[in-house]
Amino acid sequence: MLTFYNLIHTQHAARFEIFRGDKVPAFEKPERANGVADRLLLRRHVLRTPDADARAVMHQVHTPRYLRFLQTAWQQWVALDPSNAEREAFPSVWPVRSLRSDIEPTNFTGKLGLYSMDNGAPVLVGTWDAVKGGADAAHSAALAVSRGDSKAAFCLSRPPGHHAGADFMGGYCFINNAAVAAQTLLNQGAQRVALLDVDYHHGNGTQSIFYERADVLFISIHGDPRTEYPFYLGHADETGEGAGLGFNLNLPLPAGSSVAAWFGALEAACTRIAVHQTDALVVSLGLDTFAGDPISSFALLADDFTRLGQRLAALGLPTVFVFEGGYATAELAVNTVNVLEGFDMAVSVSV
């Protein structure tokens, strides 16, 4: 499997976050992707540098206003006060419900709040370069699969992307790499793309981007939003709107669900993808379904991730894997590579 590795992901490295009322070291950190890259090299995988510019595709899945802000946010932050160069920019206000979001404030604090769903995605000096590089990696992976260079490709980058919507960031996410990959596949001629999110947390940003579209079937298996982040999206009754009605499937599971329950949901997802007569598949590959993840509550173990890769291979589709969550850093590399090698092994057996 081809892997496109965004080497400059390390330019975004938040120092801390607020977790259950405490200021703690950030769970989303460079060691996550670095460990996966090391494991891939140890297993003799070849890592490629992204070779395509995703800028045009980014504008198809994100609004110009949001992208303009994100690209210049750090400069605006430092312009407020030169000493801000030593601080990370966290939002402190949010335009909920009756507050307006159609007018962009001129005040930076107001802008940052406008484009944030929470305080989990602070802006740093290297944030834009890191997330642009991630989009380039997703775009490159999708192009390689579209060209037939490989049956599957892996976009290895961070920060993750599936919580980022068309005009907002949050949950560690800024640019929606999975949406970039799906849009690239469409641009290259795919008529129907399925986007399967297996992260513990619902891909609210991805759902919102494609919710009124019929060219992307979005399916998410995740913790029940009544108790699990992101809380306000991901219920089973969300099935799409307008042209997208029937093209959104949420499979929420209670926190603590068994491995059998999770694979039952995966089987339902795979059945729906097959019925959809999909041309290509994008997988938002979150590995925080692991039993030892510090901020999640499912029960998968290392061998279960191999099984996941094998089941996805059985769909017989050109596939782009996009790295998302997973915060048990020591085990993350093994679990990630197990998915990819499980997929590759199943493909090689079927040929």
What is the SS3 assignment for 9?
Answer: helix
CATH topology (fold) of 2-50+126-350: Arginase; Chain A (3.40.800)
pLDDT reported for residue 20: 85
User: Measured between alpha carbons, how far is 172 from 294 in angstroms, rounded to an integer?
Assistant: 15
In 63-172, where does DSSP find H-type helix? 64-80, 108-114, 127-147
- Catalytic residue chosen out of the listed positions 62, 163, 201, 202: 163
Residue with tokens 């947390």: 201
What is the pLDDT at residue 351? 58
CB–CB of 108/72 below 8 Å?
Answer: no
Q: 163 an active-site residue?
A: yes
Q: Spell 59-93 as b/e; 16+ CB within 10 A means b.
A: eebbeeebbebbeebbebbbeeeeeeeeebbbbee
Residue 25 sits at φ, ψ, to 5 deg, of -55, 140
Q: Note the pLDDT of residue 18.
A: 87
pLDDT of residue 294: 95
Q: Provide block-wise average pLDDT over 10 residues at a time, the chain (351 residues).
A: 97 93 94 98 96 98 98 97 96 94 96 97 98 98 97 98 98 98 98 98 98 98 98 98 98 98 98 96 98 96 98 98 97 98 89 58
Q: Which pLDDT score is estimated for 270?
A: 98
What pLDDT, on the 0 to 100 scale, is given for residue 340? 98
Show me where the domains of the chain are located: 2-50+126-350
Distance of alpha carbon 172 from alpha carbon 9, whole angstroms: 13
Cα gap 41→47, rounded to integer Å: 8
> Which residues 6+ apart lie within 8 Å of 211 measured at CB?
218, 238, 240, 241, 244, 248
Q: What DSSP element (H or E) covers 154?
A: strand 152-156
Is residue 306 within 8 Å of residue 268, measured between CB atoms?
Answer: no
State the pLDDT at residue 109. 96
